[in-house]
């Protein structure tokens, strides 16, 4: 049997072990290419690489918590125990289990809580470098820090900052709640532990733990808002925030609503009638856990919950880890940290395409508003489509853009007590992240701005010179914000702070411009209210 045939026949768990031994093994007798660096759990060896004509160091797959398998499934994460010797951290760690094609990434396993650090210097002169910590999106169902689009090398090299990304649990493994004594938020607690790791260890990598910017996109931005507004334990761990495409209009479930989802999930996994349903789930293979997430029973159970179950798996307002809905917190106490808040012009196309790949008729259109918005549904449906149409996709897209993204984020900016800057990413990339959605071609759809920020357009196959120039400009503004510098980009265009009187935005496009968007629907939706539970 050849080596390739042998590896092909290994079970997933064995593959993960082989991957760990080959890529992350202890390396007492091997010289470090970068480091060693001492963390609270032990020494790590990284690697050097080139980016933007500069040499920097990368430490990939550093474990920040113990495995979440077996008895630790649906438990708060446990900090990684100290190891002996030096750990080679030169490859990304395992991906957390999910129903998503990760075949081009490291293997999936429940021993997945690792993080990555890119740094230009381990001992910078004049104190530590600013730190950017990134939380990936993925509807709280999927995602991995190993995705090429999130490579932190460009940002670290171009802006002289330390960049950190990490894995956290998603789906049922990260957010099942209301079953037995399970209170959910396990994936969110992973995020908190990663932030504490940064606070305790980043100085050894050249970073300043008192100059941390927390950034996320989509569900990652929603996570940032929760850390910023609803989770008191998180707030000392970072000083600034960047929220990109946060679906802020969506409410988070309370434990009662989470329990209804949890009971449906027990049915889907065959554990509802077990003497100890949680123990039954812990004994199920991870493949059965993931299969349960795709159950038709589970899909039907969420229809009655309206917007609260637009995201089946998500953080839960439990009154402990997460105290309240983030907008309610902002309306009570304001937004207290300097922040960048932005959305894309065509966020909603992807979400509406998930409902219907073709035209939307009047029956479906009105039914959606009734289900999602309860007693406010008819008035909203009439406002966005006051006359009969053959296809209601455009008014439905306009509503999703306004209610989930633009209007609640604009409201959050108005509630800020610290400086806040707002933007709209309006450029249609030459290579869309959504090649299979025809309506996204020529539009700035959800997530399309990410490779511009990370400088990873090449990794997406986009070498368009105009796009590359806009990527440098987008990244420059973000870098200036993280470093606490004036926001002037690459062209000297000053980005003024948003105030309730000027409501000024930066529009990322060719050319990038300052503008003051006018959206009469926002006052109407503000009155109805966001994050509605019904």
Predicted confidence (pLDDT) per residue in 21-46, tens digit: 444 455 445 789 999 999 999 999 99
**Residues 9 and 139 placed together within one structural domain of the fold:** yes
* The pLDDT of residue 31: 84
Q: Please, what is the average pLDDT of the chain? A: 92
User: In the chain, pLDDT over 90 holds for what percent of residues?
Assistant: 87
Check: CB of residue 413 under 8 Å from CB of residue 336. no
The bridge status of strand 162-166 relative to strand 420-425 is: unpaired
pLDDT of residue 296: 75
Q: Kindly indicate the confidence band of residue 13, based on its pLDDT and cuts at 50, 70 and 90.
A: very low
From residue 24, how far is each of 94, 144, 147, 364, 487 by CA, in Å?
11, 18, 18, 52, 40
The backbone torsions φ and ψ at residue 328, rounded to the nearest 5 degrees and listed phi first, read -60, -40
Asked if the model's pLDDT at residue 260 lies above 50, the reply is: yes
- State the average pLDDT over residues 294-314: 72
Tell me what pLDDT residue 9 has: 47
Distance in angstroms (rounded) separating the CA atoms of residues 171 and 165:
19
The torsion angles phi and psi of 316, rounded to 5 degrees, stand at -120, 135
Please check whether residue 245 lies inside any domain of the structure: no
> How much is the pLDDT for 298?
74
Nearest to 449 by CA among 189, 274, 221, 244: 244
- pLDDT at position 372 is 86
Question: For residue 268, is pLDDT > 60?
Answer: yes
Residue 369's pLDDT band, with cuts at 50, 70 and 90, is: very high
Q: Which of 153, 170, 193 is the last residue of a domain?
A: 193
* Nearby residues of 403 by Cβ (< 8 Å), 6 or more positions away: 249, 380, 525, 530
Domain match, 113 and 147 both: yes
CATH no. for residue 177? 3.40.50.1820
Q: Which two tokens stand for residue 334?
A: 């304001």
Does residue 341 share a domain with residue 302?
no
457, pLDDT greater than 50: yes
15 token code pair: 């593959």
Residue 392, domain member (yes or no): yes
Own/partner long-range contacts of 326-331 (Cβ < 8 Å, ≥24 apart): 326/225, 326/226, 326/228, 326/229, 326/230, 326/248, 326/531, 327/229, 327/248, 327/408, 327/411, 327/412, 327/530, 327/531, 328/531, 329/229, 329/230, 330/229, 330/412, 330/415, 331/415
- Going from the C-alpha of 384 to that of each of 29, 136, 424, 439, 446, the distances in angstroms are 67, 32, 22, 19, 21
Cα separation, 114 vs 112, whole angstroms? 6
Distances (CA, A) of 390 to 102, 345, 361, 438: 39, 24, 7, 19
- What Rg value do the Cα atoms of the chain yield, rounded? 23
Residue 234 is assigned to a structural domain of this protein:
no
Same domain, 179 and 288: no
What are 69-102's pLDDT values in tens digits?
999 999 999 999 999 999 999 999 999 999 999 9
Does one domain contain both 389 and 427? yes
Give a yes or no: residue 299 inside a domain: yes
Instruction: Looking at the structure, tell me whether residues 368 and 297 fall in a common domain.
Output: no
CB 92 within 8 Å of CB 105: yes
Q: Residues 446, 447, 475, 476: which is the catalytic one?
A: 446
Region 310-334: mean pLDDT is: 94
Distance CA 457, CA 441 (A): 16
Asked, for residue 70, whether it belongs to a domain, the answer is yes
Give 287-345 as a 3 state SS string: HHHHHHHCCHHHHHHCHHHHHHHCCCCCCEECCCCCCCCHHHHHHHHCECCCEEEEEEC
Among the listed residues 16, 114, 145, 218, the single catalytic one is 218
What pLDDT is attached to residue 291?
Answer: 96
Mean predicted confidence (pLDDT) in 293-308: 70
Q: What percent of the chain has pLDDT over 70?
A: 92
The yes-or-no answer on residue 314 being catalytic is: no
Q: What pLDDT shows up at residue 16?
A: 46
Query: What's the pTM value of the predicted model, to 2 decimals?
Result: 0.93
Please count the structural domains in the chain.
3
How high is the pLDDT of residue 247? 97
Q: In sequence order, which residues have a C-beta less than 8 Å from that of residue 523 and are 6 or more positions away?
A: none
State the catalytic residue, choosing from 147, 217, 347, 397: 347
Q: Within this chain, do residues 365 and 283 fall inside the same structural domain, yes or no?
A: no
Distance, first Cα to last Cα, the chain:
60
> Which of 246, 275, 309 is the C-terminal boundary of a domain?
309
- Does 12 have pLDDT greater than 90? no
For 48-112, give the DSSP string.
EEEETTEEEEEEEEEE-B----GGGTTS---BPPP-SSEEE-BSPPPBPP-SS--TTSSPB-S--
Do 146 and 75 have their domain in common? yes
Give 126 or 230, the one with higher predicted confidence: 230
Contact 313, 140 (CB under 8 A): yes
Q: How many CB atoms lie within 10 A of CB 240?
A: 21
**Closest alpha carbon to 218 in 139, 141, 149, 145:** 139
Mean pLDDT on 375-391: 95
Q: Give the H or E element holding residue 240.
A: strand 240-244
Contact between 58 and 118 under an 8 Å Cβ cutoff? The reply is yes
Q: Tens digit of pLDDT for each residue in 183-192?
A: 999 999 999 9
Looking at the domain assignment, is residue 325 inside a domain?
no
Together in a domain, 121 and 268: no
Domain that holds residue 132: 3-193
155-195 per-position pLDDT tens digit: 999 999 999 999 999 999 999 999 999 999 999 999 999 99
Asked whether the predicted pLDDT for residue 533 surpasses 70, the reply is no
Q: How much is the pLDDT for 307?
A: 63
* 218 catalytically annotated: yes
In a domain, 206, yes or no: no
User: Which region among 216-220, 319-323, 350-354 has the lowest average model confidence (pLDDT)?
Assistant: 350-354
Q: Which helix (H) or strand (E) holds 241?
A: strand 240-244
Label residue 304 by pLDDT band (50, 70, 90): low
Is residue 16 among the annotated active site residues? no
Residue 5 has pLDDT above 60, yes or no: no
Cβ contacts of 103 within 8 Å, gap of 6 or more: none
**pLDDT at res. 488:** 98
Q: What is the pLDDT of residue 127?
A: 82
Same domain, 146 and 294: no
pLDDT at site 308: 58
What lies within 8 Å, CB to CB, of 271 at 6+ separation is: 277, 280, 281, 284
Three-state SS letters, 3-66: HHHHHHCCCHHHHHHHHHHHHHCECCCCCCCEEEEECCCCEEEEEEEEECCEEEEEEEEEECEC
Question: Are residues 372 and 435 both part of a single domain?
Answer: yes
Is 40 contained in some domain?
A: yes
Coil, helix or strand for 267?
helix
170 and 120 within one domain: yes
Angle among Cα 161, 426, 486 to the nearest 5 degrees reads 35
């Amino acid at each position: 049997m050849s080596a390739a045939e042998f590896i092909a026949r290994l079970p997933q768990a064995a593959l993960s072990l082989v991957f760990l031994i080959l890529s992350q093994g202890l390396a007492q007798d091997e010289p470090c290419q970068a480091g060693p660096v001492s963390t609270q759990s032990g020494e790590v060896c990284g690697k050097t690489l080139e980016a933007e004509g500069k040499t920097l160091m990368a430490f990939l797959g550093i474990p920040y918590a113990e495995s979440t398998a077996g008895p630790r499934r649906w438990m708060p994460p446990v900090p990684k125990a100290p190891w002996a010797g030096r750990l080679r951290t030169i490859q990304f760690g395992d991906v957390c289990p999910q129903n998503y094609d990760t075949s081009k990434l490291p293997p999936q396993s429940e021993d997945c809580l690792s993080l990555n650090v890119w740094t230009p210097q381990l001992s910078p002169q004049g104190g530590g470098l600013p730190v950017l910590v990134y939380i990936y999106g993925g509807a709280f169902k999927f995602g991995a820090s190993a995705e090429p689009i999130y490579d932190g090398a460009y940002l670290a090299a171009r802006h002289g900052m330390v960049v950190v990304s990490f894995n956290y649990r998603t789906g049922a493994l990260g957010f099942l709640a209301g079953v037995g004594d399970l209170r959910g938020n396990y994936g969110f607690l992973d995020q908190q532990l990663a932030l504490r790791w940064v606070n305790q260890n980043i100085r050894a990598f050249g970073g300043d733990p008192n100059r941390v910017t927390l950034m996320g996109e989509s569900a990652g931005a929603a996570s940032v808002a929760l850390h910023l507004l609803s989770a008191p334990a998180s707030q000392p761990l970072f000083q600034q925030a960047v929220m990109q495409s946060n679906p802020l209009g969506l409410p988070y479930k309370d434990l009662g609503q989470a329990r209804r989802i949890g009971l449906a999930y027990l049915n889907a996994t065959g554990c509802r009638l077990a003497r100890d349903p949680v123990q039954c789930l812990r004994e199920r293979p991870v493949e059965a856990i993931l299969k349960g997430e795709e159950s038709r029973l589970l899909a039907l159970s969420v229809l009655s919950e309206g917007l609260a179950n637009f995201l089946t798996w998500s953080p839960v307002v439990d009154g402990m880890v997460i105290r309240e809905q983030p907008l309610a917190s902002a309306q009570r106490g304001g937004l207290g940290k300097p922040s960048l808040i932005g959305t894309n012009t065509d966020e909603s196309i992807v979400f509406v395409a998930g409902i219907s790949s073709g035209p939307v008729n009047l029956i479906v259109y009105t039914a959606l508003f009734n289900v999602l918005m309860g007693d406010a549904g008819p008035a909203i449906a009439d406002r966005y489509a006051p006359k009969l149409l053959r296809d209601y996709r455009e008014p439905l897209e306009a509503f999703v853009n306004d209610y989930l993204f633009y209007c609640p984020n604009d409201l959050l900016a108005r509630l800020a007590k610290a400086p806040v800057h707002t933007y709209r990413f309006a450029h249609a990339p030459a290579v869309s992240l959504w090649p299979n959605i025809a309506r996204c071609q020529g539009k700035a759809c959800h997530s399309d701005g990410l490779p511009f920020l990370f400088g990873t357009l090449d990794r997406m196959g986009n070498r368009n010179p105009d796009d590359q120039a806009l990527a440098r400009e987008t990244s420059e503004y973000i870098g200036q914000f993280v470093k606490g510098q004036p926001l002037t980009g690459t062209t000297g265009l000053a980005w003024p702070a948003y105030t309730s009187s000027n409501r000024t935005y930066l529009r990322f496009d060719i050319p990038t411009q300052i503008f003051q968007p006018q959206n009469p629907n926002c006052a109407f939706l503000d009155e109805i209210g966001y994050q509605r539970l019904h």
